[in-house]
Structure 1
Amino acid sequence: MDNNIFGYDHNNTWVHQLTGTSKLLFFILVSIIAMISYDVRFITLVLILSLIILYQSQIKWSQVRLIVKLILIFACLNLITVYIFSPGHGAYLYGTQHIILHLGYFTLTKEQLFYELNLALKYLVTVPISLVFLITTNPSEFSSSLNHIGVSYRLSYAVSLALRYIPDVQRDYQEISMAQQARGYELSKKGKFMTRIKGVSQILIPLILSSLDKIQVISQAMELRRFGKNKKRTWYMARKFSRNDYLTIVLAILIVLLGVWFMKIDGGRFFNPFK
């Protein structure tokens, strides 16, 4: 069951050994430059690098299967929506129109396909980096890293609690689901789709109630310990930078500079192969 839990997974890879601050800065810098650029060459290079880092972090497919499927579904729906509402946006951006299919308002062009390819790569490029960051970073260390870059420690601790709670919610869902199946509700793939939907809806109410109960317990415990009384606090999980941390930040800066260089030679954010 634990293999299906999306959350922090302790391991001994070089990625796990990095501090949360260096991983957070790498994630923020690389994500921003990847979102700004529309150069397919640059985005592809960043995607390959992020996949290599994902592989070296030794994250199992069972740990991220659900979240990756949801992201892919969302990405596909968004690409379809972009085409439906603006099928000529690619031709407008690149200044040319190479028609593939004449479909009236929905005329398909090479420029539109290239534009949506860039969008798809943008969705994909941040997925490995974000998964590596979330799964290889201890939530307490993550809150410490947020505080170190200037975020209020109250907000940092709230984010840490949210990350810690993700595996708990999934575990509660599985336990409630097994209890419902023991009472005769078919929630597995063997059951009909509408039956499974109905069963899932019956799980949500006890799941929400149990979550609210846990939130109340945690908030009361924090109040009893006078959390938030002082303006600053120390962090038990805070660590000093190692050589790899500095190299990670340098790599992030180099990626940003490379993205800026690509935009300079392209004359803007968009790489136009149709000129």
Structure 2
Amino acid sequence: MNQIQKKQQKKLNQEKRNLKKQKEDLKSISISQKKMKKANISKEKGKPKKRLSFFGGKKKKSVQETIPYLRMLRNGICQVEKNKFNKMIRFLDINYQLSTEEDKESIFNEFSSFLNYFDPSVDIELSYINRIGKNEEVEKNINVPDRNDSYNEIRKEYREMLKNQSQKGNNGLTKYMYITFSLQAQDLKEATTRLERMEMDILNNFKQMGVKAYVLSGYERLKVIHDILNPNKNFVFSFEDLKYSGLSTKDYIVPASFNFSSHNQFKIGEYFGEVNFLQILAPELSDRLLSEFLGVEENMIVTFHINSIDQTEAIKMIKRKITDLDKMKIEENKKAIRSGYDIDILPSDLITYGNDAKKLLVELQNHNERMFVITILFTNMEKSRKKLSNIIFQLNSIAGRHNCVLKNLNYRQEQGLISSLPLGKNEIEIKRGLTTSSTAVFIPFTTEELCLEGESLYYGLISSILPSIEYELAFVALIAIFSLINRKIKIAFTGILIYLLVYFLSILIVRYGSNTFRSIFMPFLGLVNKIYPVCMLSMIILSTTKVGEFLSAMDYVGVSKKISIPLAVMLRYIPTIKEDWLYIKDSMRFRGISPSFLGFIKNPSLTVECIYSPMIIMAAKAADELTIASITRGIESPNKRTSIIRINFGILDYLSIIIGVIITAFTIYLRYFYD
């Protein structure tokens, strides 16, 4: 026992000595720190203090320092930081909102796969820019210069038409969509190799979605930034000028001044601007949210900064959250036991968060889902503060309809503007975690636009229908002549008068009708224009051709019975149905039921019951009777058919064939060879 006490006493003495030594060391360290502090203070005396910005960092002394990149190369590679490089791709719109549900689902899945392509080492920025073009640019695009030929009158009419349509349109609003992808690399050589490989993959992904895309050069990237910061100025720049001017690329794109003195707005030259971020409160979002924002016909930039989270880390993070929530549930259960109430009574938020976390874990583990953190920014610039506030109010109303909120970046306007530029740099820490499908809801595609670029032509609204109905008018006139030759004068004059009415009505609606009026009536009139000539020709055939003569003619030219018999039954069926319809109308009139359209409006159920139901039954009965009669007359007999009527080609037949061949050849020439 004494030996144990001696050992404990010895150990205690040793610990006391160690503690005393540690105190002495700490004392000597504090003395040396005080000496160093005094020395630093004496050195810094007389030096001006560094002024820091509100959120830290050196205060910027020039507009060039505000633009956050180091250099821009000819090939489009931008060095943002020492080891961070990026490239930029512009992609065009496709028809998404007008597609069928199956096509929409296919495009949505392709866009989701496109987002899943980017791993955590790649940062992407999606920029959607609405810019109202200058009046000079619009006039330049629609101006068709005169030439030394006989078509100047047509060019004048063409210019006037384009000018009128541009005034009815969206004031030259152009929509641009870009993706900027950034990665870390040791040097430019490594960055170039990796960026080019990613560039090919991104272009292939866009191609699978049917989206046209191309890579921007250094000049084009600088022009995009210049047009954002200098809306009313033309971009004049060449990389060759850098060799002799001693300037950098920033000097060509920056505005005259930046003013960030206001806490909720900024000013660039004569323009007032404001940056807001989108706070998502809704549990589910519609794929029309982004299209509604981009449908606002004002100058605007919508920016998405998207960063992928490693799948393993995301799953671990969610599991930790679930563990924390379970721990909180246990604490609530203990509190319930101590207080003497039911342990199943838990706070509603705790239950909701727990269920959501478990659902999210299932999606990440069992579905093709990944986790992303995104920042959504809206940047607007206008010359008037009042107009700017009206636009922000309009955007807020759109966000409110989808249970979201647009909030101002107070005291962060400079960082917000920098993050809105398509340079792949995000200085806003406000982020929202979303899965792949939730991120893909912000699909940027709406409808493909028709642009006045290259050799493209523009003929105004619903341009294709006017040449079409003129061609059909000529076709109806030929059918009327054919009807007169066959002594069917009533069909000829009635048919041409009705079609002239449809023709002039179509022209009036196209040229003078409102958009709503056109969208209601033009589909119906277009269908009438396509079907009417065929119906008119069918009336002539039915009134001039007997079934026996038709079958004899078909046998004479060697047409198979599999074709001639159904056509013969059809020729006999239509007149039979017409006779039955007249009988039913007379019968219903005796019973006091009007078969007219007005009678249908007054009493639709009785009209359907007493007129259309018997019509359907008699139509089926007529089909059976015609079939039986045809079989009785030996229509299926394998022997060669004989006829007392001799069928031969006459002058009119040859003339009709020649006219048909000429019309077909002329149509093919207009379609494929006429320039």
TM-score where L is the length of structure 2: 0.24
Q: Report the residue type matching 2:477 in the other structure.
A: I
| Count of aligned positions | 201
Residues 480 and 492 in structure 2, CA contact (< 8 A), matched pair in contact too: no
Deviation at 1:244, TM superposition (A): 2.6
Deviation at 1:177, TM superposition (A): 2.4
Q: Which stretches in structure 2 are left out of the alignment for 5+ residues? A: 1-466
Residues 50 and 129 in structure 1, CA contact (< 8 A), matched pair in contact too: yes
Aligned to 1:254: 662
Q: 2:585 aligns with which of 177, 183, 187?
A: 177
Deviations 1:66-108 (A, max 9, x none): 9x98x99xx99xx9xxxxxxxxxxxxxxxxxxx99996xx8x8
Equivalent-residue separation in structure 2 for 1:119 and 1:207 (angstroms): 26
Aligned to 1:86: none
Superposed, 1:27-176 pairs within 5 Å as 43-59=472-488, 61=490, 122-148=530-556, 151-176=559-584
Is the radius of gyration larger for structure 1 or structure 2? 2
Residues 172 and 207 in structure 1, CA contact (< 8 A), matched pair in contact too: yes
Deviation at 1:192, TM superposition (A): 6.1
Aligned to 1:230: 638
Structure 1 residues 42 and 149, CA gap change in structure 2 (3 angstroms) = farther
Equivalent-residue separation in structure 1 for 2:564 and 2:623 (angstroms): 17
Q: Report the residue type matching 2:654 in the other structure.
A: Y
Deviations 1:224-268 (A, max 9, x none): 55542417534555501123322221222222222233335424x
Q: Report the residue type matching 1:131 in the other structure.
A: M
Q: Which stretches in structure 1 are left out of the alignment for 5+ residues? A: 1-37, 80-98, 268-275
Structure 1 residues 63 and 154, CA gap change in structure 2 (3 angstroms) = farther
Equivalent-residue separation in structure 1 for 2:605 and 2:489 (angstroms): 28
Aligned to 1:270: none
- Farther-moved stretch of structure 1 (193-202 vs 56-65): 56-65
Q: 1:198 aligns with which of 597, 606, 616?
A: 606
Equivalent-residue separation in structure 1 for 2:623 and 2:538 (angstroms): 26
Deviation at 1:148, TM superposition (A): 5.0
Deviations 1:131-166 (A, max 9, x none): 333322223333344455554325423322222232
The alignment partner of 1:51 has SS state of helix
TM-score where L is the length of structure 1: 0.52
Indicate whether 1:263 and 2:657 are aligned.
no
Q: Report the residue type matching 1:241 in the other structure.
A: F
Residues 186 and 196 in structure 1, CA contact (< 8 A), matched pair in contact too: no
Equivalent-residue separation in structure 1 for 2:562 and 2:553 (angstroms): 13
Residues 475 and 533 in structure 2, CA contact (< 8 A), matched pair in contact too: yes
Equivalent-residue separation in structure 1 for 2:488 and 2:554 (angstroms): 23
Equivalent-residue separation in structure 2 for 1:188 and 1:43 (angstroms): 31
Higher strand share: 2
Query: What is the root-mean-square deviation in Å for CA atoms of aligned residues?
Result: 4.8
Aligned to 2:332: none
Indicate whether 1:187 and 2:595 are aligned.
yes
Q: Report the residue type matching 1:157 in the other structure.
A: I
Q: Report the residue type matching 1:185 in the other structure.
A: I
Deviation at 1:40, TM superposition (A): 6.6
Aligned to 1:22: none
Residues 187 and 195 in structure 1, CA contact (< 8 A), matched pair in contact too: no
The alignment partner of 1:266 has SS state of coil
Structure 1 residues 63 and 140, CA gap change in structure 2 (3 angstroms) = farther
Q: Report the residue type matching 1:255 in the other structure.
A: I
Residues 42 and 259 in structure 1, CA contact (< 8 A), matched pair in contact too: no
Q: Report the residue type matching 2:606 in the other structure.
A: K
Deviations 1:172-223 (A, max 9, x none): 2222222222223233466461425632432233334344444444434444
The alignment partner of 1:187 has SS state of coil
Residues 187 and 196 in structure 1, CA contact (< 8 A), matched pair in contact too: no
Q: Percent identity?
A: 22
Q: Report the residue type matching 2:609 in the other structure.
A: S
Aligned to 1:93: none
Equivalent-residue separation in structure 1 for 2:634 and 2:532 (angstroms): 42
Structure 1 residues 219 and 51, CA gap change in structure 2 (3 angstroms) = closer
Equivalent-residue separation in structure 2 for 1:178 and 1:163 (angstroms): 24
Q: Report the residue type matching 2:578 in the other structure.
A: Q
Q: Report the residue type matching 2:550 in the other structure.
A: F
Equivalent-residue separation in structure 1 for 2:626 and 2:532 (angstroms): 36
* RCO higher in structure (CA 8 A, sep ≥6): 1
Q: Report the residue type matching 2:481 in the other structure.
A: I
Higher helix share: 1
- Farther-moved stretch of structure 1 (160-169 vs 181-190): 181-190
